[in-house]
Amino acid sequence: MDLESLVESRVKTTPQNVEEANKGLYRATMNLPTAAKHCGMTQKEMKLTFWEFLKYNKPDYENFIQITKDSS
């Protein structure tokens, strides 16, 4: 067994990777470990980056009140 096949190569952190990871976390299509690995960061670095993303990006959804018909 080759040691190089067991060690994963480090991913270079780019603005595009970070943006994809932040959007993936926001839309819940990625979890934290996957997003951190995607952009070559530690989980702690990804958490801090995502908090900054949330601070400067407003929610893009609207709150809707669903009115249900009472069955009684």
Q: Is there a domain that residue 67 lies in? A: no
Torsion 11-17-18-20 (CA) sign? negative
Instruction: Please state whether the predicted TM-score (pTM) of the whole model is above 0.85.
Output: no
Tell me the average pLDDT across 32-40.
95
Express as a percent the part of the chain with pLDDT over 70.
Answer: 83
pLDDT at 2: 78
What pLDDT sits at residue 4?
76
Buried/exposed code over 11-22 (b: 16+ C-beta within 10 A; e: otherwise): eeeeeebbebbb
70: pLDDT strictly greater than 80: no
Residue 32 lies in a domain: yes
Contacts of residue 43, Cβ cutoff 8 Å, sequence gap at least 6 = 32, 33, 36
Quick check: is 28 in a domain?
Answer: yes
**Residue-number span of the structural domain to which 24 is assigned:** 10-56
Please report whether residue 24 resides in a domain.
Answer: yes
**Does residue 16 sit within a domain?**
yes
